[in-house]
Amino acid sequence: MTADRRDRILSDLNLAGAGLEIGGGYNPITCKDEFRVDHLDHADRDTLIEKFASQGIDTSRIQTVDYVWSGQTYAELVGEKRYDWIIASHVIEHVPNPIQFLNDCTEILTEDGILSLVVPDKRFCFDYYRPPSGLARLIDAFVAGDTRTTAGSVVEHIMYAATVNGAITWDLTAGQSAPKFLHTAEQARSLYDSIAQDGAFHDVHAWAFTPASFRLVAEDLNRLGLISLRERSWHDTEGYEFYVQLSRQGDGPNVARATLAKSAISAWDGDSEQAADRFQDLMSSTVSARSRDLVELARSHSRGEIIVQGTSGHPQIYLIRDGRRHAIASPAWIIGHGYAAEDVIVVDDAIIFEVAEGEILVA
């Protein structure tokens, strides 16, 4: 773990106060020899050591587990104790009921306590092809009182899991090949059957978020009165994860909900300010062409296609392929598919719209 990463997680926490780390596993952020910290996990230390050692993982940093969670509320587990800060790194995407998780954390925080979350960005991990988890399913899980990952979550996780060059996570700043699906429909159906027949439990990412989608649903849940925590700070994606701190005194995102909503939609396949900036760096000078010439230019290109943007400055970007113009959902699609400057040209908007319309490219 880098110093910068740790600093982002611990920033603004009252580290002289009492803390709790949830789900630290074999790679905790905090250790008992440094902080006044308790650890809560799904198993005791000996069981965690046995589990991770069998996977060839270094177990030297596993902490003594003060509270073994088995489905009860955190308040029931810790009693009267209250914490000045709670850290949960790569936890909320696993829990079956995020609203209940946030409320459980709230209940054991002091009045000015802070919950510091580290969340994988679905655009840069195996959740790449999954839609961001929305408000409806979060609320439904809460109303249903879900305590186990649902069959739908397991199937979605398996059906859409992807890798890039064999890796299940990748850095947002690296040029990558297109993610490839990891599992088959048969494998997903097998897991579905095991859940339907005997209630088998599978620990998967039940939820998939981008920074914008998470910030939006967290704010909406607060406005609806379903959670009392609110965003107090956030740090955009580094590598494949982003950082959010919540508290009762949080001011919220200070970004229009519509802006977050638009970002959440366009971020389906990895939109980001960094990707937009990198796309602009690719733009070449304006090319004069007729629509027929544009199609022919795409066909004769080494890739059999070209990226075009209009001279008007309209943000929409298109791919010309197979005699059609395909709207691209975000600049990150271009970055993620390895296009270079010689693949990108600017032409008159009217020329683009003379080319037959194709589908929208979102992955």
Provide, rounded to the nearest whole percent, the portion of the chain with pLDDT above 70. Answer: 89
For residue 285, what pLDDT is reported? 57
pLDDT per position as a tens digit, 146-159: 999 999 999 999 99
Check pLDDT > 60 for residue 267.
no
Contacts of 343 (CB under 8 A, 6+ apart): 282, 301, 303, 305, 306, 307
For residue 272, what pLDDT is reported? 47
Check pLDDT > 80 for residue 12.
yes
For residue 237, what pLDDT is reported? 87
For residue 358, what pLDDT is reported? 83
- 71-85, 104-118, 302-316: which has the minimum mean pLDDT? 302-316
**pTM metric for this prediction:** 0.75
What mean pLDDT, rounded, does the chain reach?
A: 89
- 241-245, 280-284, 293-297, 325-329: which has the minimum mean pLDDT? 280-284
Residue range 15-22: mean pLDDT, rounded: 98
Check pLDDT > 80 for residue 173.
no
pLDDT per position as a tens digit, 331-363: 667 766 777 777 888 888 888 888 988 877 765
For residue 268, what pLDDT is reported? 53
More confidently predicted of 283 and 129 = 129
For residue 44, what pLDDT is reported? 97
Domain boundaries, the chain: 3-18+82-270, 276-357
